[in-house]
Chains A and B, each alone.
Chain A
Amino acid sequence: MPRIPLIMPQLGESIAEATIVNLPFKVGDEVEADQDVIEVETNKATLGVTTPCRGKIIEFLVEPQQSYPVGYVLGYLEVSEEDAVRVGANGGTVVETNADTQGYDAPSSRTILPTIHGLPVPAHLGGGGYISPRMKARMNELGLQAADLAGVAGSGAGGRVTIEDLEGFLSRLDEHKQTSASPMRIAVADAMRRSWTRPLATVGRPVLLDMLLNHRRKQTIKPGPTLYAVRALAIALSETSAPAGRLIGGKIVHPKAVDVGFAVEAEDGVLVPVLRNAGAAPMAELLPRYDELVELARQRRLPPSAQGGSIATVTNFGTFGLTWATPIPLPEQTLLLGLGAGKVMPSWDKEKEAFVPVTEAGLTLAFDHRVLDGGAAGRLLARVAELLQSPEKL
């Protein structure tokens, strides 16, 4: 025959347990429905636990004068099949065993569900590019830029870098040897970072240096090849200045004067002295000033008036033996003309129907692609090459 449990009821709000004060029946007694079979006492009153239906008491699981929590199984009734179905096999309550009735301070023995990775990214977080306020504050504190964190893998939602990722990255850096970056280095880093925010492109073509080299041999004071390039660029920009314009908002801002800068390597960095109005005077007139500026730059004694304000820059990376490069224009400029190292190579001469030696160098133009495209860049470069190949015009 089926058996149903007698459960300790909830006898008032916030009551957690009750004490058995009397067991008026014995095992084996027949009892009716709704009969008080166990007397219990709470903090407020003495009450009876009633039977859900008639039956025979077959087991008590409690002792008098002991306290048991709400939901505890106090004993079992043997009941008829119909009664068991009517009250539900578990006596009409959800609690069955005594293992479930734990108090507040019982240790948790629940099954832990496995962690779910890759939860949906909240739309407002902006994915991998999001920098939290805490991150910003910490980066500020350490003088870090977003660019410095390019190498940090983000473990946050959408791949964002969290503060833990950052601190982990920084602590791993401590395992490396570290030297201080000079102010020059930091200034150049900042300039390059800012310049790089624009879409930059580079185009290149060959230029014959033979004419230039011949011209140079005939001079008493020999101008550096860089000055030839500066003068050629200045003349070309005097003819059309648009390629040197800057895109600000929806406007092309045209240059005021054809001031051209040129890169000089100084200790731990690059300085860019400027030849003012380089399109107005011939090379011979510019030469003394040019040499002076080069010397000042090398000694890092370049006055502020000789820096800044140029509309384009020339860099002669050929002096390092480089044949081509993709240099980054200054952040406030659109153009950077590059001259590579000259190399003697065979060139097919159609008339002679033979290879003849020529000195050829790479001429490159790095530019802000928002302002001009390959065509305009190519045309400017062609004009510069043409001028370089006719040095008497410079």
Chain B
Amino acid sequence: MEEVRRDLEEFEFEEKIYALTYWQLVWRKFRRNSAALLGGIILLIFYFSMVIFPEFFAPYYLEHIFLEHINAPPQRIHFIDKDGRFHLRPFVYKLTGAVDPNTFGRVYVEDKSKMYPIYFFVRGDSYKLFGLFETNIHLFGTSQEGTIFLFGTDRQGRDLLSRIIYGGRISLTVGLIGVFLSIILGTTLGIISGYYGGTVDNIIQRIIEFLTAFPAIPLWMSLAAALPQDWSSIKSYFAITVILSIIGWGGLARQIRGKILSLREEEYILAARIVGCSERKILFTHLLPNCLSHIIVIATLSIPGMILGETSLSFLGLGIKPPMTSWGVLLSECQNVRSVVQTPWLTIPVAFVIITVLSFNFLGDGLRDAADPYTR
């Protein structure tokens, strides 16, 4: 009896599966992969807080300079005060700096007589949300006379956490726009190459082979170095994304071509042709949607390379340049050993780069497995 019931349940389950659409199946398979899910959630949080609302999530404005706090180390959050009393509301101590008479470097000590509780939704530097609404509310902060530098400050006395959040806006979007460009180029040429074959295919494949023969980083460096110095920040930002996608599209085009090569022999394409569909219709309404999941997977997996590329270029001073801020620009402050030894907290942006790249890799891996939900 028990066995019959189980059989019946399995049957109903299978029935349900058959009723699901392709994307529902993909989602079913994807959500079972916990690493991919985690990666996706982290990226959602990053993009939400750094690309859409950095002004709100950052405790200070990007260029807010604290002359009293140059190269200050990260401030610690406390729950227990100097008398051993527990506070439900966390607080930071006042940070006072002095010049060390021996090394002439600045040293900071916590002044335990002054406590600044941390509040949510405090008023601080004013900003314009989406460039429209004037407001000054930040996610967290302390009172006006206190400071909160969770990741310390840089050598101009600017809060590193705020700079990382603002820098994410550039670092996280460079990859997206770069991938968008390579998708357009790669998909179009890949589909043409795979569908028409013959001479066109041959020429496109030679071009791709030729492009992939170039070492990416030296080529990026030369192109970035050739950008005119007097270009505005926005202009050079887009130039950098274009440079980053110059090599990337080749791999995408090649994979799409392979997919199209196998798809074009399918019966439904033959059927479409017999019915009298135009070439364009076959390409864009029959072939392209079938490659879509594939394209998404490749795109996700190629974003990390672009983020790392931007970081490397900016680190060398060839990519994004100040006053624009990206994670690479932040890291260029610790180019030499001395600054790494004296101000080790300036390497914190590395962690954000690594977490982002890891998340994209996990997400892409999960999507790749899920994109083919019919194998179980």
Is B one of A's binding partners? no
